[in-house]
Amino acid sequence: MTDIQVQPSGAPTGHALLEVKNLFVEFHTRDGVARVINGVSYHLNPGETLAVLGESGSGKSVTAQAIMGILDMPPAKIPSGEILYRGQNLLTMSEEKRRQVRGKEISMIFQDALSALNPVFPVGWQISETLRTRAGMSKRDALARAVELMDLVKIPAAKARIKDYPHQFSGGMRQRVMIAMSLAMDPKVLIADEPTTALDVTVQAQIMDLLADLRRDLNMGMILITHDLGVVADVADRIAVMYAGRIVEHANVHELYKNPAHPYTEGLLDSIPRLDSKGTELATIKGLPPNLLRPPTGCAFHPRCKYAKDLCRTDVPASLNLGNGRTSACHFAKEMLDGTLR
């Protein structure tokens, strides 16, 4: 059996805002050690959107939490790897310095707006709190800025609604409040973790449009974490697909949609509902993601892969460089691309 060989997913330009390099994260549990991130590397350039895609448990949110420095350690442990923000390794910074980066330079929108907002404080107070405590603004200035931020995220009648409580907003409007809070300190990197979960399809599209506009207008780098390949086509520049704690495919968005180089990506693409397939059964990827306490031998995707061969059950595939920043961790990536595997 071969060891995992790790290669960077797409070469950074040399001006990368953020670089995750060969990151490993483990969770130490009573049942053993779960290796949840296994050599993840990706980067984010200024002004671009990287979508990080995968099912629950693939490690996409854990990587984001490691970037933010909000992993519970223990049980989590980071045995090796680097997370560079403008060339500085966040993992070796003092907690004091890290706090200055968190929120101010790198900010995060969390999944569940309802539970992330405090139900007993008005939304304006919650947005302005960061400005008072982190930027030292007076109460009046912070509230005025909170109104500007609510305007920025297109909450109608922002000034009138500043004293409203979270339960007085719809799900989509609450998510806009969360986005306003994440922008309070003018971050350079915005991490959006499943920002449209639990919203209906129309509101999902509005939130994605808003994030794309903000990313462009504020010239931020954005990492968009999602399990839904259907929501990223119009907003992402590049996509990193994660499975069992590894990046199994990385490509620019057009190449990936046109011709996936990994069977897992192909399965995700096939499971997007299409208008022209009305009346036919929706394709799914059979089986479940692996238990990372006892991962499969060889390629972690082999129990679910319709193309699996003997080699896949014994040897971990290296991340193959397919040119133009494209990588795939499949023994048969080239055959996937030229169509001879299908």
Q: How many CB atoms lie within 10 A of CB 180?
A: 27
CB of 263 to ligand SF4, least distance (A): 4
Q: Is 263 in the site for ligand SF4 (CB under 6 A)?
A: yes
Q: Pick from 83, 312, 318, 322: which binds ligand SF4 (CB under 6 A)?
A: 312
Looking at beta carbons only, is 124 or 317 nearer to ligand SF4? 317
Q: Is 301 in the site for ligand SF4 (CB under 6 A)?
A: yes
Q: Is 317 in the site for ligand SF4 (CB under 6 A)?
A: yes
Q: Is 318 in the site for ligand SF4 (CB under 6 A)?
A: no
Looking at beta carbons only, is 153 or 320 nearer to ligand SF4? 320
Only one of the segments 44-52, 101-109, 204-212, 330-338 lies at the binding site for ligand SF4 (rule: CB under 6 A); that segment is 330-338
CB of 328 to ligand SF4, least distance (A): 8
CB of 276 to ligand SF4, least distance (A): 27
Q: Pick from 144, 203, 307, 321: which binds ligand SF4 (CB under 6 A)?
A: 307
Q: Which segments within 7-64 are labelled E, that is strand?
A: 18-29, 32-44, 49-53
The pair phi, psi for residue 162, each rounded to 5°, is -65, -25
The pair phi, psi for residue 107, each rounded to 5°, is -125, 160
Only one of the segments 9-17, 28-36, 90-98, 305-313 lies at the binding site for ligand SF4 (rule: CB under 6 A); that segment is 305-313
The residue with tokens 């036919």 is 280
CA dist., res. 256 & res. 264, Å (int): 12
CB 23 within 8 A of CB 43: no
x/- site string to ligand SF4, residues 281 to 300, per CB under 6 A?
A: ------------------x-
Strand, coil or helix: what is 209? helix
Q: Is 268 in the site for ligand SF4 (CB under 6 A)?
A: no
CA dist., res. 216 & res. 20, Å (int): 23
In the chain, the N- to C-terminal Cα span, in Å, equals: 26
Amino acid letter for position 230: G
CA dist., res. 198 & res. 182, Å (int): 19
Q: Is 308 in the site for ligand SF4 (CB under 6 A)?
A: yes
Q: Is 241 in the site for ligand SF4 (CB under 6 A)?
A: no
CB of 301 to ligand SF4, least distance (A): 5
CB 15 within 8 A of CB 44: no
Only one of the segments 48-56, 57-65, 277-285, 301-309 lies at the binding site for ligand SF4 (rule: CB under 6 A); that segment is 301-309
Q: Is 110 in the site for ligand SF4 (CB under 6 A)?
A: no
CB 83 within 8 A of CB 23: yes
Strand, coil or helix: what is 112? coil
CB 317 within 8 A of CB 4: no
The site for ligand SF4 (CB under 6 A) is made up of: 262-263, 299, 301-302, 305, 307-308, 312, 317, 330-332
